[in-house]
Structure 1
């Protein structure tokens, strides 16, 4: 048995090697079955403990006294710091005949080798502890075994006690239940039969109260977002001629307008999808899911377009694309890519009726993985836009010739704060909190993610529209608020251009021109900004 366990220890040592094995579930199941067969036939004369292997341990004993409990303890401090305990109480022991052999085996790495279930049990999560096998030399109907598993991932809190069903080649919870344990790092399971056991764990789903809170935040936020986007579109249409007098400014406002329209349509279809799901209209749900997918992707791709234009204007100061080329690239990215992705997704998954999930009018997550057609492009765009934001910050911090006065250092920090404040919603970086919800699935994280993205339309109105000085001046001039504001507008139009970040990130999209050398008193930070800024 020692030699056999030494061999098994090597076989299960490297879980990454098992990734290369075809039909790894079947092969790992064969390993479990082989060890059980050896354990059942093991003949011993007294207690045996084989604990010198790093990946597999064995504990065995002969039940000579039917009034005592059977216990086995396992500790894998050298491998992954997991522990496990097995208890068969005296009541169950009395059901055996004298000199019955009980053998328990624990695996430290089998949790990484065995795949997560692919049927309905997969909702319960991932293997989160040791895999422990117990066999006896004779059968008994009146039987109960209690096992303690130390959690591998302590943040998971939803538990399912399961055993490996060799017939279906999957985990099965029949005959097993969880028991309360005062130690939060451990899970206790009780089962009425013997074989290989472990625990499947995941994050607990939010309760009804939490879901209601998130629903209120979503619908109130989306309502505010829709109203804000309508206002933003009206303002952009009103001041369009005044703020698009040069090519770069024109492209910026084209992006703002398309982001606003696409996000508005996505929010509307999101509400339509929620209403359709309540009345259980399958075809209408598919349509709502498709259009929601399309418009949210369009929103992300137009945010990508804005980020790329910003990156291009920062890094390619002396290179100039024509307006027609920029418009062609922008509209292909903004509409062509999303439509292609959405059409392919529905064409591949809908014939098998796996395009939508049964929990709402949205892309299927578990079966067809259609949800990846939204997640992968969105995460890729967030990464690109995050790099763009870093480039903007680096440009602001780039030292000029000589030492910077403290006043200018403070000014640079203010400019960075403005950059982050303005670019985060415009480039869709608030969606990055979705990654946090995958790591920490708690109510506070869900509230932050839901609130930030439900209110994205409001942030676009505030930071993309109202914080633009040109837009404000155009509105003042248009409606003649006062003679003072008109004079300020006139003065602003005639004055020399401000540095790129002195009035916010908006000036990055201003018209490319010559250096401003009219003032010999320009500060070093202004000279630095002028070296790459696009002047009004």
Structure 2
């Protein structure tokens, strides 16, 4: 510990990492019969051998002492080790907190400052702890203790905490397997990780202000709640309206409605259960993945149905058409989710809502970035491209129809109907989801606001479209056959 403490003072990277690795091995091999607390210079450590079945462990540390007691004033770091470690009496649990004397420098080539130049090391002798389902939680106090810089609100307008671990092989920081649990104004940050090593908190520049993050979170929750309520009303209107139940297009729409109901039902409570039991979080993540895929697939089937109505107008009969659409719309997502769960169950877990910002709200979803990119982003891109093409076909068909001489001069009422039709089709096809492509760079804030407002209210817009469609079907036909066909399409 003296050697490592001297390395911390000298600040030489290679020497420090080598000394840290040696110290970790020495501490794990140290023979002891009871819990032992150690302190040398800017380092504190605690060694503990479990007695009896391991039920988890809480560790608390100040600048000069580490203990297992909860009554620790001015605690700088607290750690919760899960039962899943399954440590036995032959294993030594090692906690080590290192603090560099120079707190103004960055470490190991990072462009960001390590908060209070502090790393927290965790290990268990005889075990290589990775891929935990029940995560390790390291909570760092950001309030300061009178001798350090306080992490106040004005500071967090430009900087935010980000949990990382030190990768000894690359001598660099990484976020793999770690989630940052922190909200604007909180005096502490929790690093929730699925492995044991040396952890720290980097101060990174905020792409979007904490205030905007809070507002966007409220917009999303309120919008999704409104959508869920109106989607349920839409479904009830459908099953109680005989004409709607007899209309094929309405039947296709109602499948999308059900998919969006499932999506909102699993998305809204996901944050609340994010830190609950592993089994429940796995179910929420799997269900949310399935619901999202089902919604995307049914949006593409809306585009396919639109293609049949607009392009293959005179030959659209398909035997057991709705059954075949249902097999595709509900079956493909089930196959994808089942394959992911069978191949790697750990692909589902706790992740930030915004993958580009580890400080955002954590939910139960897909942990593996490759799985997420292929099964959600990839599917979305294909659906979006197809539906954009179908929107173009729709616009072209309406323009050609309005130029036809059989309709005579253009009137404002007809133009309004065309606009309403295009807005309704845009909602059904999920075109507004494409705003995510504009949520970067200088457009990040504006793009995210538009994305959250329009997409969280997608269910409400579908409800309006559905009600207007019911009103149309209830009115007597007053237009020519050609226009009637176009309006229904």
CA contact (8 A) 1:354 1:368 kept: no
| TM-score (structure 2 length as normaliser) | 0.53
Equivalent position of 2:305 in the other structure:
309
CA contact (8 A) 1:269 1:291 kept: yes
CA contact (8 A) 1:222 1:455 kept: yes
Equivalent position of 2:261 in the other structure:
264
Tell me, what secondary structure is at the counterpart of 1:276?
Answer: coil
CA contact (8 A) 2:244 2:470 kept: no
CA contact (8 A) 1:225 1:454 kept: yes
**Cα deviation code 1:170-201 (max 9, x no counterpart):** 7679xxxxxxxxxxxxxxxxxxxxxxxxxxx9
The answer for unaligned runs of 5 or more in structure 2 is 1-107, 114-157, 161-165, 175-202, 353-361
Equivalent position of 2:226 in the other structure:
224
CA contact (8 A) 1:289 1:363 kept: yes
Q: How many residues matched?
A: 298
| TM-fit CA distance, 1:281 | 2.1
The answer for unaligned runs of 5 or more in structure 1 is 1-118, 125-156, 160-164, 174-200, 474-488, 509-536
How many angstroms apart in 2 are the aligned matches of 1:260 and 1:158? 41
CA contact (8 A) 1:304 1:384 kept: yes
How many angstroms apart in 2 are the aligned matches of 1:457 and 1:448? 15
2:329 to 325, 334, 340: 334
How many angstroms apart in 1 are the aligned matches of 2:458 and 2:469? 17
Equivalent position of 1:355 in the other structure:
348
Q: 1:346 to 1:207 in 2, by over 3 A?
A: farther
CA contact (8 A) 2:348 2:368 kept: no
Tell me, what secondary structure is at the counterpart of 1:356?
Answer: strand
How many angstroms apart in 1 are the aligned matches of 2:317 and 2:408? 38
Coordinate RMSD, CA, aligned: 3.9
| TM-fit CA distance, 1:207 | 3.7
| TM-fit CA distance, 1:338 | 1.0
Equivalent position of 1:467 in the other structure:
468
CA contact (8 A) 1:396 1:415 kept: no
Q: 1:384 to 1:401 in 2, by over 3 A?
A: closer
The residue correspondences of 1:84-163 to structure 2 (distance < 5 A) are none
Equivalent position of 2:449 in the other structure:
447
| TM-fit CA distance, 1:378 | 1.7
| TM-fit CA distance, 1:441 | 5.7
Q: 1:300 to 1:203 in 2, by over 3 A?
A: farther
| TM-fit CA distance, 1:435 | 1.4
1:418 to 417, 420, 439: 420
How many angstroms apart in 2 are the aligned matches of 1:404 and 1:446? 44
Equivalent position of 1:384 in the other structure:
386
| TM-fit CA distance, 1:458 | 0.4
Tell me, what secondary structure is at the counterpart of 1:407?
Answer: coil
How many angstroms apart in 1 are the aligned matches of 2:407 and 2:269? 56
How many angstroms apart in 2 are the aligned matches of 1:122 and 1:262? 44
**Cα deviation code 1:6-34 (max 9, x no counterpart):** xxxxxxxxxxxxxxxxxxxxxxxxxxxxx
Q: 1:415 to 1:496 in 2, by over 3 A?
A: closer
The residue correspondences of 1:71-86 to structure 2 (distance < 5 A) are none
Tell which structure's C-alpha radius of gyration is larger. Answer: 1
